[in-house]
Each structure stands twice: as structure tokens, then as C-alpha cells.
Amino acid sequence: MTRIRYMPDNPSVQVVHSIPGRFRVKSRTFTNPALDPDYVTAFIAALPGVLQVRMNTGSGSIVVEHDPGADVRDEILLRLQNLPNEAFLPEVSQRSGPDLFEVGTRTFAAAITPFLPRSLQGPFSWALSIPTLVGGAETLVTEGLKVEVLDASVRLMSLARKNYFVGNAVGAMLSMAAYFEESSTRQANDLLKNLLRPQADRLRVERDGTEVLIDSDQAMVGDIVICGPGEMIPVDGLVISGEASVNACSITGESSPVHAMPGSEVLSGGIIEEGRLRVEALNVGKETSMARIGKFLEKSLRTQSGHQRWSHTLADRLVPLTFGVGLGVYALTGSAARAASVLAVDYSCAIKLATPVAVRTAMYHAGKNGVLLKGAQALEALGSVDTLIFDKTGTLTHGLLELTDILPLEDFTEDEVLALAAGAEEHYGHPVARAVLKAARERNLSLPPISQVDFIVAHGVSAYVDDKRVLVGSRHFIEEDEGISCAEVDGEAEILQDGGKTLLYLALEGRLVALMALRDTLRSEAGATLKALKASGFSHLVMLSGDQPRPVHAVADQLKELDEVHAGLKPEDKARIVARLKEEGRKVAFVGDGVNDSPALLSADVGICMSEGADLARDAAQVVLMKDDLDGLVLARSIARDTSKVLHNALWSAVGINSTLLVLAGTGRISTLTSAALHNASTIGILAYAAMNKGEQDALPS
């Protein structure tokens, strides 16, 4: 939840027009050049009952459309009057484009110009041009040669030549183009924001045996939350009773509802289509999946990729080129008409705006299909990486280990050693721990009281039972770190490992008391996914694992596309391999899901986390697969590469078309009016092409 800080010096927000379900507000704050309009619209759109938010920073107004039956108006006004600090970015300066009324007015003014008395045409045209001329002069003084200076120069030269109709027509076309440019950007932003559904502001919980309605910020971990038909699940949690059909499309991208029953995990943001659930809250407030997705999306609206920064730099450098060509044409020919025709051609609009439009549209379509991209950088990097590293457990395999063998030593029984291991592992979220606990529950075992529990990442667990130390973990942990010999079970261990099983050792008070074995299963789609990834341009596929070599190579033998396999690794070893591959000149993506994968996720060019990944892994990754399969990798790669092609085509189309127009204008083949019309039409066409970017979704493996 975003914290609102009251600012007493903030000018009041005034409602200037209101009808049921819609109202317009104005404030001087909305004209602040440091205000981030995307953040403000997302901040208001996140309120339950708000349907659409439109902001015009030029006029300092915001139009809000909402459900007429929802009592949200006061909350909207409170938020607008007390915008959080995050809404202001001093380094960002954004200008709001014209609305349809302004476009229509300028078009009408241009159309009637030839029919006005000659004595009125001049004053009328100068008055219409004042905003453009003043804006151009301010830009020249404060920022140098930018597109606003070009626009002002064209208008000024037309007015100086007393060609009033051309000047006003160019002004109308510039206004229309600016409207379509801003509309394209706004629609791309709105697509991205639509992935974020508003959080429930109130929820029903059981307190002292009764159902009570509380504010969402009062929810606590462990609360029993009640969710009925048509309601949104407000927490991440575990279903403890009831059954329901849950539409989780906004979270996972699944097109069909999923069946939730006791024992199922549910995520915030899912909508119950039918049925009723009692859910034990595991994550509430800002820790829920929807809140994290919202944070990622708000951040992504603000960030620029390297390609976007480069295109902005290129566009700014081409403005002086256009200006120089115009002056050169005037110096050589003495024709102000030709010079004005040249100045009507501007490279920057299409080059600058195509990138954010294409990127945000791609991010939206990726999100709708279950792939969350945390910003433009992630999309760009995913399209350029050539090496993909997988952590084995939970990525290429399901990570749902099953306990298959228990070999007790001394006088212990299977149930006794299993109860000891399950007690020590009870609060550890690792797949091995889940498998041990599952086996203990299936045998209805009572777990002993455990104290002083220590989790040693990628090694094992240390705990105390009745003041006796229990160790559960890998052979490396038991034998090398703790000095307890495991030699007496070498024969049994070798047989189990030959079967592709993972070994788990149990020690009590400094002696080995049991050997256990677990088995994981390969994901059914893993082989086809690796083939598709190789076809998409990955030249090097690597598998890493903390498991012992035999079970790791048993999995690798089934995946012929792997180029490199490493086993028995610590978390720092995985990060070291990532660093080594990067030193070799490779661009590396890493796919993982556990806490022990976080160093590698952070050190890779792109970190990718599976849907069931640990919170730390999800936060460390730049890409999160919201469906529990690998198909999202192929989709994400396809969208990233397709976006790269769209940006390449848009850039060179803009350069090619405008360069042609520059030559035609400079040689007098086209008039100022034709030059402006063709330039603006090409800009709108390029933006429309960028807005259709969806990625090659048919590249998914069958």
C-alpha cells in the first residue's frame, strides 16, 4: 500500500464539472513539470470502482470515470490533494498534448482562413501562431534545437511570406499529429495498467468465531479470510475449507478458471466465479502477489531501456541536421518556401515515441499470457541474451520431490527417523522439506518439539530435539561440514543414486542414523521447450544443481539440448559460473526459483523466476513466469525478439521516409503543406505499427 503524505502547501483540488459516474478536477499541482502523469493515473485507477482516468497536464485537469454506484469520489479527491512523494520526479519533464477540441478548433481555423478578408487573415494567423512561437522560443533558450524550434520556424516563415493558409494548415496538422502521438503512448500505458486490478479495500475475516468486515490494511497473516462468488481474493493464502472456481487470468494469464479446494494455494487478485472459500492468509497488504505486480508495473512505466535512451539521443541529434539542411537550402536557392518545406520534416517524433509504444504493448501482451516483465530493460535484455542457465530443481523438473526410500540405522524405525527429519524441516520451504513433511503426514506421524532451528542454505537444517542435536541435509553438510562419517551407507547410497534419486542424510548427536532418498520428475514440456529455445537463438543451454552428480546427470541424459551440466553446487558457485560465462563474452539469462538462486538471478543479465519461486527469488528476478510451466520462456523470448524487430523497422522506416521527404522538399518537388502532411502521416503510421506489436505467440511448443 502506498503511504500518503499530507502536504498542507498543496493547492486544493477543485471539481469543475460533474455528472453521475464522471467528474473533472483542476489543480495547479497537475501542471508541475516534475509530476509523473503515468504514476498519478495509476495511483487513482487502482481504487476500487474507478473505470478510467485521463490527465491533461497542459490544462492542469484530470477526468475520472467511475462506477456510479461506488462511493469513491471523496477518496479520489483525498488522494489527488495529498499525492505521495513518489508522484514527483524532478528529472522528468512531460508535456501534455492537445485534446480533440483543440485539434478541431485548429482545423476549422485553417479551413476558414482563405475565406476571411485579407485584412483579417494576418492578425488571425499571428494570433493562432503565438503559442507555437512562444513555445519554440522557450525551447531554444532552455533546451537548444529541438522539434518545437522546427515547428515554430515553419510557422514563422509561412507568416513572414504572408502564406497564412499554409501556416495555419501546418499548425492544424502538427496539432493532429501530436494528439495521435500522445494517444498512442497513452493507450500503450493504459494496456499495461490494465494488468493491475484494484485491491479489495475491505475483506471479511473470522474473528473469535464470527465473521467481521475489516479494512484491508488491518488484515494479518494467519487471518481466516472469507471469499464468496464474484469477490476478489484479497490475500495470498491456503484454502482450509470450501471449493470454488477461481478466475486467475489477471495474475497467471490462465484463460480458464482453476478449481480451488482445501490444500490449494490461491493468489490475491483472483476472482471467485462460483463457490466459497475459507483462506488462511499467508501474505497480506504490500506483500501479496497483486501488490508486488502493481509495484513492478508502476516502476516499468517510469523506466527506459537502453534502446529508448539511444533513440532519444539519435532523435535529438537529427533535429539540428534538419535545421542545418533548411538553412543550407535557403542559402543556396534563396527560397523561403523550400526552406520551410525542409523544416516541416522532423525525424524525432516517430523515433522517440515508437519505442515506448512498442515496449509497453509487448509487456501488456506478455502479462496477459502469464509472463511478468519488470520494465523495458528486461524486455530488451531478454531479446539479446544468447546463453540460458537453468537451475534443475523446480525449473526443468517439477520440484515436487517424493520420499521413496527410508533406510534407518541402529535400532531406529522408519517412522522414528521420519518424525525427526520432518520436525526439523517443518518450517523450511525447500522442496526437500515439503517432501519429508508430506510423507510424515501421510503416515499420520506426530512431530517432536523442536527448538533452535538453523537453516543453512543449500546444505541442510540443524535443530534440537530434547536437547539433542538433529542434522538433516546433504552428505557434504553431514560429513564435511559437521565431521560425521557416512561411509557405512556408501553401498546403499550408490544404488539409490544410480536410480537418479537425491539423497538425504539424518544425524543425531554426532552419529548417522538414517539415509533417505527422494525422486523428482522431469517437466513434460522441458524437452520441447529447450528445442524451441535453441531455435529462437540461444546458442548455449546450461543446467546447474546443488544435487549430487548422479541424479543431475540422470535428468541431463533426458535433455539432449543441454550443452553444459554442473552438479553439487553452492549458491556462490552458481553465481561464479554466471560470471565466468559473462567474462567469455556471453549474454546470460538465469532461470531459478529458490532462495539459493538469488545470487545467480542478480548477477545474470536477465534473472527469470518460476511461478512457485521463493519471495526472495521473485524480487531478485527481472522476469517472473506466472504459470507453472516452461512455455512462458518461449513466449517471452518470442515477444522480446519480435519487439526488437519492430523497433528496428520503425527506426529505419522513420529515417528512410523522412530523409526522402527532406530531399524532395529541398529540391522543391513538394510544397510546405505536402511536406508537413506526408511527414505527419508517416509518423502516425509508424506509431500504429509499433502499437500492433504482440510478439510471435505461435512460436510456443505444441
Residues with catalytic function: 391
- The contacts of residue 64 (CB under 8 Å, 6+ apart) are 22, 23, 24, 25, 44, 50, 52, 53, 76
Chain center to CA of 279: 27
SS3 label, residue 462: strand
DSSP one-letter string for 313-369: HHHHHHHHHHHHHHHHHHHHH--HHHHHHHHT--SHHHHHHHHHHHHHHHHHHHHHT
Q: Which has the closest alpha carbon to 697: 532, 556, 546, 548?
A: 532
DSSP one-letter string for 499-535: TTPEEEEEEETTEEEEEEEEE--B-TTHHHHHHHHHH
- Report yes or no: 548 and 497 within 8 Å, Cβ to Cβ: yes
* Cα distances (angstroms) measured from residue 475 to each of 479, 507, 512, 518: 6, 10, 10, 14
Residue 509, by phi and psi: left (phi above 0), alpha (psi -120 to 50) or beta? left
Q: Which three cell numbers stand for residue 313?
A: 539521443
DSSP state of 87: G
Chain center to CA of 72: 28
SS3 label, residue 176: helix
Beta bridge partners of residue 211, listed in sequence order: 206
Element (H, E) at 540: strand 540-544
- Report yes or no: 626 and 252 within 8 Å, Cβ to Cβ: yes
> How many Å apart are CA 461 and CA 454, to the nearest integer?
6
DSSP state of 406: E
Q: Which three cell numbers stand for residue 696?
A: 510471435
Q: How many other C-beta atoms can be found within 10 angstroms of the C-beta atom of residue 545?
A: 25
- Type of residue at 532: A
- Type of residue at 679: H
DSSP state of 385: -
Where does 216-328 show beta strands of DSSP type E? Answer: 224-227, 236-247, 258-260, 265-266, 271-283
DSSP state of 63: E
- Report yes or no: 178 and 361 within 8 Å, Cβ to Cβ: no
SS3 label, residue 568: coil
Cell numbers 488491518 correspond to: 218
- What is the torsion angle, in degrees rounded to the nearest 10, for the CA atoms of residue 476, residue 480, residue 485 and residue 487? 50
Cell numbers 478510467 correspond to: 52
Beta bridge partners of residue 515, listed in sequence order: 407, 505
> How many Å apart are CA 502 and CA 517, to the nearest integer?
5
- The contacts of residue 287 (CB under 8 Å, 6+ apart) are 236, 615
Q: Which has the closest alpha carbon to 217: 203, 198, 206?
A: 203
Q: Which three cell numbers stand for residue 681?
A: 502521416
Beta bridge partners of residue 456, listed in sequence order: 460
DSSP state of 397: B
